[in-house]
Chains A and B, each alone.
Chain A
Amino acid sequence: MVGRLIGLKFTIARHSQSWKRTVGFVLACLAVVATWLTAVFSHPDAGADVLGFVLLAWLVGWMLGPVLTSGATVLRPEYFTLLPLNRWRLGVSLLASVFAGVGAAGMLLAGLSLAGYAVVIDAAQAIPVAVVAAVLFTITVVSLARLVYSVLGAAMRSRIGVEIASIQYGLLIAAMFVGWMAVSPVVNALPVFLTQGFGGTVAADVVAWSPGGWPLRAVDAAAAGDWGLALAWLGGLAVAAALTSVGAAAMLRPYTGNRTVRRWRRPLGSGTGRRLLPTGRRGAVVGKELRTWWRDPWRSLEIRSSIWFGIFLAVFSAVGGFAQLGALAGVGVALMIALSGANLYGYDGTALWQLVVAERPETVRADVRGRQTAIALYFGVPAVLLSAVMVVITGAYGYVVPIVALIVVVLGVGSGVSVLMSVVGATPGVEPHRRVNSNDAGENGLIIQIALWFTILASLPTLAVAAVTTFGGPGLPVWWSFLVLGVAVVNGVLGAKVLGGIAVRRLGDHLPETFARLRYPGMKVTRSGSGDWLDHLSHAAFEEARKAAEAKRKTSARKGS
């Protein structure tokens, strides 16, 4: 069965975008080479610290990587639910198929750098231990990665799981934005690190005791001739490999339980919400959106990872020695509107049919404006609260005016950009009632990039006056603060009105086409446009989504007609 599953995996992989495979292959090669260079060329005194750190980095990379890419779900266990197979055997076979690939091969090759390390420290007798340690470490890492990913998938059925996934996403996005702040002290210290390691600090112990350090301890023990200790460390690795493998195989058994956790009470907002919400078309949309933001795990993931992004932003700033920048955490949360909300219609899947069959200018406008109101409220409240807390913690009271201005403008402009991108770049994911994994909701990388930069660009007037306030010193007159806030309000409201207005017109003109993009993924549905920039952008987004859909369509048995 393993052979067949591996064959199936490669067949499906062949249908994925070739550049992604090439990039993956090149990155894996580079990482292997870097690991070997570290093992061979770092100073013998520092070698254990450095290589241990690098192996730990491999482990962390394996745990985080699959969450960012959708590659890990090539073979979904639920494809095989109906086959008369032993569920455990299927789980084990699926796990085995994970090992057949560039990633696992790269991990093994990188692990074998332990043998290079053994040569560098002049202990050829430790090479067999190094090889065994590399194999066991590879099994541990790959199984652990699959285990973590599956646990996250299962976790999307519960609040706590969504929270864990959110922390991961928040950390990753923060690392992409301001990781340099935290990394710069490390980079500056790199030459010292390569020659002296951690210099006997706590960090050295942490790495040595972490799973990344175990293979090295085994090799070091063998090098010192302490074969009993070497075997003990190998035994520890073997136990770790066995535990993670059994755990991963268990999680890879097809899940046949409920999709949602059983509730014992009515969902939140079903009673009181009604009295608080405005009536009328727009109120109806705001109510639906707020409830969905609150109750849908995939949307919760967006807001929660945004909040965690803000928190990590503050943490990284503090690590980098710019603690006062932590007050910007709320601006970070607000900025995430443009990213998290760039595919609102895609989140809802084919539910857009309701707007199509109820089409009127008023309903389309209510839908777009209602979504804007809901997303600005839902991200705005945590943004303001988080910045307020951070201002109190860091004592950066002097920055309150520019921070309030930035939150206001980003919420306004972001809500406009979000609905406009959602209309122009509507990208289908897995249908809402069939979602399992945290990255099933569908996203369009191109649109997210444009949304982010467009939001910043459209907020420039406020950014400019806020910058003057921040760097202008105490000499600015009192009225300047009011001017900054005034500019922010006008900039934000205009951004929301104008961009939202374009979204309303665009959706009104292209309602069946927007629906078709979600209903028939990858199918070309033409509508003679005027050839303006929105048409070009829409076409580019469509192509991006089409390529992704092509690969996906071959793997998922969708109901079509």
Chain B
Amino acid sequence: MSTDAPAPAFRLDRLTKDFSGTLAADEVTLDVPPGSLTGLVGPNGAGKTTSLAMAVGLLRPDSGTSYVHGVDLWREPDRAKADLGVLPDGLALPERLTGGELLRYWGLLRGMPESDVASRTTELLEVLELDAAERRGVLVVEYSTGMRKKIGLATALLHAPKVLVLDEPFEAVDPVSARVLRRILRGFVAGGGSVVISSHVMSLVEDLCDRVAIIASGRVEVSGTLDEVRGGEDLETVFVRLVGERAAAEGELSWLADLSV
């Protein structure tokens, strides 16, 4: 990194986690500059979710820390977390509230003025197309997987954070909502915000992100701008080369396509 680069908006600094002998994250280090959209990619079990959980304060690291605009999240959690918006993957929400009630609860808990909470809630539900469900009084427990993702995203955005950390934000989201989501994220970055998303979908990362980091076996193998990492190839080729691909054995799963039987 050159010396005149801006201070990172979000920094993962040598985050390490050992799950009873399995090193889930091994000195994971990553800089997210202001106004950038960074994609974190890696195979299943590579340590993406664990690293992000440590970075946002959900899992205490064995060593290392993270910084939000220079504030150490594990030393000054209240200051650092105030600027963070987080969407974790697959966790529960207050299930017996409607989407609107959930956002109101969340905004007031964050200490936001009631009028802001009310206007932003209405707008977010409308933009994310959850307003019809809200009118019918649908509870979060009755939401589809994609709707759960969207209401989770709304909670991450509600308090207008400076840094967004989104774990698999596009999973199970329909194409129309995905376009909306991309538009929101691009607008957020254009306004100076920073985003980290984790994803398995290379084409999505190539289309959306300007920076990328590839993580495998708990280590960041490479990170930088999209062009630096790709080096003229496509991202999937680079990814497979770094992560390694299991060679197909002769006659592997030959029974699978044998429809004549």
Q: Residues of A with Cβ closer than 8 Å to B?
A: 259-260, 263, 265-267, 270, 274, 279-281, 283-285, 287-288, 291-292, 295-296, 348-351, 353-363, 366-367, 431-433, 512-513, 515-516, 519, 523-525, 527, 559, 561
Contact = CB atoms under 8 A, between A and B. Distances in A.
A518 B26 CA distance: 24
Contacts of B58: 353, 356-357, 512, 515, 519
Interface in B63-108: 77-78, 81-82, 84, 86, 88-98, 101, 104-108
B137 A561 contact: no
B177 interface: no
Interface string B126-151: 00000000001101011000000000
Contacts of B44: 561
Contact of A512 (B57, B88, B91, B110): B57
A519 B98 contact: no
B251 interface: no
Contacts of B49: 561
A292 B78 contact: no
B60 A525 contact: yes
B137 A270 contact: yes
Nearest to A297: B96
Given A270-B101, A296-B95, A349-B92, A524 B20 contact: yes
B59 interface: yes
Interface of B: 19-20, 44-45, 48-50, 56-60, 77-78, 81-82, 84, 86, 88-98, 101, 104-111, 114, 136-137, 139, 141-142, 155
A358 B81 contact: yes
A135 B132 CA distance: 57
Contacts of A265: 137
Contacts of A266: 98, 136-137
A360 B95 contact: no
A267 B108 contact: no
Contacts of B137: 263, 265-267, 270
27 contacts: A270-B137, A279-B108, A280-B108, A284-B106, A292-B96, A296-B96, A351-B91, A351-B92, A351-B93, A351-B95, A355-B109, A356-B57, A357-B58, A357-B84, A358-B81, A359-B78, A360-B82, A363-B111, A512-B58, A512-B60, A513-B60, A515-B58, A519-B58, A523-B19, A523-B20, A559-B90, A561-B48
B97 A291 contact: yes
Q: By CB atoms of chain A within 10 A, which of B45, B57, B136 has the most? A: B57
Contacts, number: 129
Contacts of A291: 96-97, 101
B244 to A, nearest CB: 20
Given A358-B81, A432-B92, A433-B95, A284 B141 contact: no
A357 B55 CA distance: 11
A279 B110 CA distance: 12
A432 B95 contact: yes
B136 A350 contact: no
Given A351-B95, A433-B141, A519-B91, 20 more contacts: A260-B139, A281-B109, A284-B104, A284-B105, A285-B105, A288-B101, A292-B94, A348-B94, A351-B91, A353-B86, A354-B155, A357-B58, A358-B81, A358-B110, A360-B82, A360-B111, A433-B92, A512-B57, A515-B58, A561-B89
A367 B108 CA distance: 11
Shortest 5 CB-CB distances between A and B: which pairs?
A266-B137, A284-B108, A349-B92, A295-B96, A350-B91
A456 B206 CA distance: 62
Q: By CB atoms of chain A within 10 A, which of B48, B107, B139 has the most? A: B139
A274 B117 CA distance: 13
A545 B59 CA distance: 19
Contacts of A512: 57-60
Contact of B109 (A295, A356, A358, A561): A358
Given A357-B57, A432-B141, A523-B20, A281 B108 contact: yes
Contacts of B139: 260, 267, 295
Contacts of A283: 108
A311 B107 CA distance: 40
A348 B92 contact: yes
Contacts of B50: 561
Nearest to A292: B96
Nearest to B96: A295
Q: By CB atoms of chain A within 10 A, which of B57, B81, B91, B107 has the most? A: B91
A465 to B, nearest CB: 39
Nearest to B110: A358
Contact of B77 (A263, A350, A359, A432): A359
Contact of A354 (B19, B104, B106, B108): B106
Nearest to A559: B90
B53 to A, nearest CB: 8
Nearest to A357: B86
A212 B89 CA distance: 53
